[in-house]
Amino acid sequence: MNNSKTWSGRFNEPVSELVKKYTGSIDFDKRLAKWDIQGSLAHAEMLRQAEVLSDEDVANIQQGMAEILKEIESGTMPWSLDLEDVHMNIERRLTDKIGDAGKRLHTGRSRNDQVATDIRLWLRDEINEIRSLIQALQAALLDLAEQHADTVMPGFTHLQVAQPVSFGHHMLAYVEMLGRDDERMADCRKRVNRMPLGSAALAGTTYPIQRETTARLLKFEQICQNSLDAVSDRDFAIEFTAAASLLMVHLSRLSEELILWISPRFGFIDIADRFCTGSSIMPQKKNPDVPELVRGKSGRVIGHLTALIMLMKSQPLAYNKDNQEDKEPLFDTVDTLVDTLRIYADMVRGITVKPENMRAAVMQGFATATDLADYLVKKGMPFRDSHEVVALAVRHADEQEMDLSELPLDKLRSFSDLIEEDVYQVLTPEGSLNARNHLGGTAPEQVRLQVARWRELLAN
C-alpha cells in the first residue's frame, strides 16, 4: 500500500489541500500523543495475552513506541497533515520503524474507540492537576481569611451597604464555592474514568479481546458497557466544561469584587503591581488587568460549554466526524482554567487589605441599623415596631451626617426609652460582628473555626 492515507485504497482521487486542512486535526490533537501511546501499549499487551499478537510483535511495538515518545519529547517527531490526526501519525511512524508489527497494532480497534479513550485518559490527568490547583487557591484564601477574621468591612446587598461582615468571612464565601467546584470535578472524573476501548468502530470486534485487562492496565475504574454509546458519547466532556464554567463564574465574581475594591472610590485593597499594568496615555493609571481578564475569560469558557453542547445535539448514533470538534474547546477550557487558577493563587497572596478604609465605609452606611432593631426586640419591642423606630433614628442621623453609634444617648432615647447605655455595644461594627456567633455567621470566632475546618479538609 503506497497511498499516504491509511484508508485511501478505496478512493480514485486524492482530497484537495483545502479538504486535507479542513478535515485534519493533527495541528491540535498531537497534544494527545502521550495518552495515545499509553492506550496503544495497553491494547497491544491485551492482544498479546489474548494470543492475537505474538510476544515478538508486542516487544517490537513497545520498543518502537519508546522511541517515538522520545522523538515527541525532543521535538523531532515528524508530524504530517497527510496523516490527518495523531493516531495515524503515530501508527505510521511505528510502522516505519518496526514494519509489520506496527501494522498489526490496530487489530480489534478503531480510531473511534481510540480517540474517545485518549481524551478520557488525558482529561483524567488534567482533572487531577485542576483539583490540586483549586485546593492551592483555597489555601491562599484561607490564609487571608485567618489574617482578617477581625477586619470589619461593609457587607453589601444590591451593592448598597447592608451589614458589617468580617473580611475573612467574605473570603470564606469563595472558599465554599471553590469547595463545590472541587467536588464537581471529583464527581465528573468518575464518569471520565470509564474505558471505551474495545468498542472498535461502533459494534465491538470479532477478536477475543479482554476489555478487563486493558482497563486494568490503563487504570480505568469502569468499562463503557455499550459500544455505540462509548464511541459517540462526549457528555463527560460537556460535564467537565460545565464544571469549569461554574468555577470560572466564581472567579469572575471574585474578580469583579477585586476590581471594585482596588478602585480608589472603594480603596479596600491593593493588589501587587505584578498583576497590573499602566496606561499608555494616562500616567497615573494602575489597571487591574489580571482580574479583568479572568472576568473576560469566564465568557470564553462558557462559550466552549455552549460549543460542546451544540456539537452533541442532533448527532445520530454512533461516531460522527463532528466529534473531532470537541478537542479545541476542551483543550482551551483546560488551558484557561489551569492558567487562571495558577495566577489567582499567586494574586491572592499579593493582596494588601486596608482595614481603615473598610471600617470608614461601614461607618457611612448605617450598617448597624439592624443591630439596633434586634436590640429593641430583645428589650421587648415587636420587630415591626423596632424597624420603624430605627428608620426614624437613621433619618435623624443622616440629617446630622453622623453614624448611629455617634448619636448621644439622650438623642437615641428620644426614639425609644428602651434604649440604654449598653446600646453602644451593638452599634459598633465589631459588636455587630461578634453578635452573629453561630454556625455560618460572620463572628470572628466562627471565621476562625471555619478556617480550621477547611484546613483539616484540605489536609486530607
The smaller minimum CB distance to ligand ARG, of residues 112 and 386, is found at 112
Stretch that binds ligand ARG, among 129-137, 190-198, 319-327, 437-445 (CB under 6 A): 319-327
Sign of torsion, CA 276 281 282 284? Answer: positive
Stretch that binds ligand ARG, among 33-41, 107-115, 253-261, 360-368 (CB under 6 A): 107-115
85 is a contact residue toward ligand ARG (CB under 6 A): yes
Stretch that binds ligand ARG, among 60-68, 150-158, 315-323, 353-361 (CB under 6 A): 315-323
396 classed as catalytic: no
Q: Spot the catalytic one: 74, 158, 280, 314.
A: 158
245 is a contact residue toward ligand ARG (CB under 6 A): no
Q: For cell 465491538, what's the residue?
A: 204
State in angstroms the smallest separation of the CB of 87 from ligand ARG: 6
The smaller minimum CB distance to ligand ARG, of residues 29 and 57, is found at 29
State in angstroms the smallest separation of the CB of 160 from ligand ARG: 51
The beta-carbon contacts of 47-55 under 8 Å, at least 24 apart in sequence, are 47/107, 47/108, 47/207, 47/209, 49/210, 49/213, 50/207, 50/208, 50/209, 50/210, 50/213, 51/208, 52/107, 52/108, 52/207, 52/208, 52/209, 53/101, 53/104, 53/107
The smaller minimum CB distance to ligand ARG, of residues 265 and 321, is found at 321
Please select the residue that binds ligand ARG; options are 193, 232, 298, 323, rule is CB under 6 A. 323
Q: Spot the catalytic one: 4, 263, 279, 438.
A: 279
CB neighbour list of residue 453: distance below 8 Å, 6 or more residues apart: none
Element of type H or E holding 165 = strand 160-166
Say how many residues touch ligand ARG, by CB under 6 A.
10
313 is a contact residue toward ligand ARG (CB under 6 A): no
The smaller minimum CB distance to ligand ARG, of residues 138 and 324, is found at 324
**What is the maximum span of the chain, computed from C-alpha positions, in angstroms?**
102
Task: Say whether 297 sits in a helix, a strand or coil.
Answer: helix
40 is a contact residue toward ligand ARG (CB under 6 A): no
115 is a contact residue toward ligand ARG (CB under 6 A): yes
CB neighbour list of residue 204: distance below 8 Å, 6 or more residues apart: 198, 227
112 is a contact residue toward ligand ARG (CB under 6 A): yes
DSSP codes, 108-163:
T--HHHHHHHHHHHHHHHHHHHHHHHHHHHHHHHHHHHHHTTT-EEEEEETTEEEE
Residue type, 199: S
279 classed as catalytic: yes
The smaller minimum CB distance to ligand ARG, of residues 173 and 228, is found at 228
Element of type H or E holding 368 = none
Stretch that binds ligand ARG, among 292-300, 318-326, 391-399, 405-413 (CB under 6 A): 318-326
DSSP codes, 394-456:
HHHHHHHT--GGGS-HHHHHTT-TT--TTHHHHHSHHHHHHT--STT---HHHHHHHHHHHHH
**x-or-dash pattern for ligand ARG, window 9-28, by CB under 6 A?**
----------------x---
321 is a contact residue toward ligand ARG (CB under 6 A): yes
**x-or-dash pattern for ligand ARG, window 392-431, by CB under 6 A?**
----------------------------------------
199 is a contact residue toward ligand ARG (CB under 6 A): no
> Distance between CA 331 and CA 279 in Å, rounded?
32
Q: Are 442 and 165 in contact (CB under 8 A)?
A: yes
Q: Is the peptide bond before 242 cis (omega within 30 degrees of 0)?
A: no
Residues designated catalytic: 158, 279
Give the footprint of ligand ARG on this chain (CB under 6 A): 25, 29, 85, 111-112, 115, 319, 321, 323-324
